[in-house]
Chain A
């Protein structure tokens, strides 16, 4: 799976969780750049990512997620890019 494909899936997940079809993500976006994204929504996103990519994220990995690029990197590494 390419980085672009991972970004597209992540964007869909963010749009669904935040109920906002207009969200467009950039790898450099951080939590504060995404309207409405807080710790409560982050839990939803972790669950959705785990379901969608068939992975289980560890606590330290979740704590290290600060930008969209961090999510993309972690998904690629943990899923072996085979999702």
Chain B
């Protein structure tokens, strides 16, 4: 009798056709309703999931939302029932407003973004982005190619960077620092080449090659050169300012790298300010994957299983793990220095 009643409901609901397709549609509807219901309550289970994720930081949240301290709700409750609706983020590691805008099904359904990411989004390959001015925005690529720049974009970070979309090598970088980064880009040092239908800018003395993002059909070589002197000149100026401010973590990846070379490059960065160098290299040792070896307060080495600028093949999760550790590490160094 129960089954016949169920069938009758299906028939009424879907115009009288009880078939497999309609049952699947109905099941999807029930599942979505359950998820919507389950993510609207801060149940004990949901609280455990959020706390275990490491993506809610009560102290950070209270600094961002001082009025939450006066609330009867604890910080997590305040974020869950009030904060995210006001565009607040639960920690510097998760931008809730960005997540519900970028994945607009979340916004349309009114789901709380963090719990959606934990329960559904991450398993579906959806990305998180740090809150404004944090995590991947704190990093700047030194090469050796575009991969880390693409990884940053995966996490919603699109900061401008001189070497973000460039091919470099560590000896060329060290030499550029020694000869003067302010002299790197000028009419005499750059040449424009054509590769794969795109103009690219070569700085031959240092073995550097920059994407222009301009198709060869779209402009003349002369126009491009003048434009690149200005464009890369701006990025070089910005790069030097970032070095002098000393608030960025510079990232250099390479299939093979020695501690001596890392130390050399880190020392060049330190000439400008208290900069940090994160190098990332390949390993076949599964125990090292996603881990960080810290050599000093100036540089550390992370390990990954493969490099690929194609994000569908790249080890994005390992990059994320390494960068989160590096960010936390140097925050602790900086807090200790201030104390």
A binds B: yes
Q: Is B27 an interface residue (CB 8 A)?
A: no
**Closest chain A residue to B214, Cβ basis:** A40
- In this complex, how many residues of chain A approach chain B with their Cβ under 8 Å: the count is 17
Q: Is B137 an interface residue (CB 8 A)?
A: yes
Once A59-B241, A60-B245, A63-B137 are accepted as A-B contacts, the answer to whether A39 and B230 lie under 8 Å apart by CB is no
Within 8 A of A (CB), among B199-246: 213, 230-231, 234-235, 237-238, 241-242, 245
- In the complex, the answer to whether A38 meets B234 with C-beta atoms within 8 Å is no
- Give per-residue flags for B100-115: 1 if the beta carbon is below 8 A from chain A beta carbons, else 0: 0110000000000000
- In the complex, the answer to whether A62 meets B102 with C-beta atoms within 8 Å is no
Q: Which residues of A are found within 8 Å of B133, using beta-carbon distances?
A: 63-64
Q: Is A23 an interface residue (CB 8 A)?
A: no
- Give per-residue flags for A1-42: 1 if the beta carbon is below 8 A from chain B beta carbons, else 0: 000000000000000000000000000000110000011101
- In the complex, the answer to whether B245 meets A43 with C-beta atoms within 8 Å is no
- In the complex, the answer to whether A32 meets B102 with C-beta atoms within 8 Å is yes
In the assembly, what is the distance between CA of A40 and CA of B160, in Å?
8
Q: Which residues of A are found within 8 Å of B164, using beta-carbon distances?
A: 39
- In the complex, the answer to whether A63 meets B159 with C-beta atoms within 8 Å is yes
Q: Which residues of B are found within 8 Å of A40, using beta-carbon distances?
A: 213
Q: Is A52 an interface residue (CB 8 A)?
A: no
Q: Is B328 an interface residue (CB 8 A)?
A: no
**Closest chain B residue to A37, Cβ basis:** B158
B210 to chain A: closest CB distance in Å?
11
Q: A32-B102, A39-B158 are in contact. List 18 more A-B contacts (CB 8 A).
A: A31-B158, A38-B158, A39-B159, A39-B160, A40-B213, A42-B158, A42-B160, A43-B231, A43-B235, A44-B231, A46-B234, A47-B230, A47-B231, A58-B241, A59-B237, A59-B238, A59-B242, A60-B241
Instruction: Jot down 28 A-B pairs with beta carbons below 8 A, ordered by A.
Output: A31-B158, A32-B101, A32-B102, A38-B158, A39-B158, A39-B159, A42-B158, A42-B160, A43-B231, A43-B234, A43-B235, A44-B231, A46-B160, A47-B230, A47-B234, A58-B241, A59-B238, A59-B241, A59-B242, A59-B245, A60-B241, A60-B245, A62-B160, A62-B238, A63-B133, A63-B137, A63-B159, A66-B132
Interface residues of A (CB under 8 A from B): 31-32, 38-40, 42-44, 46-47, 58-60, 62-64, 66
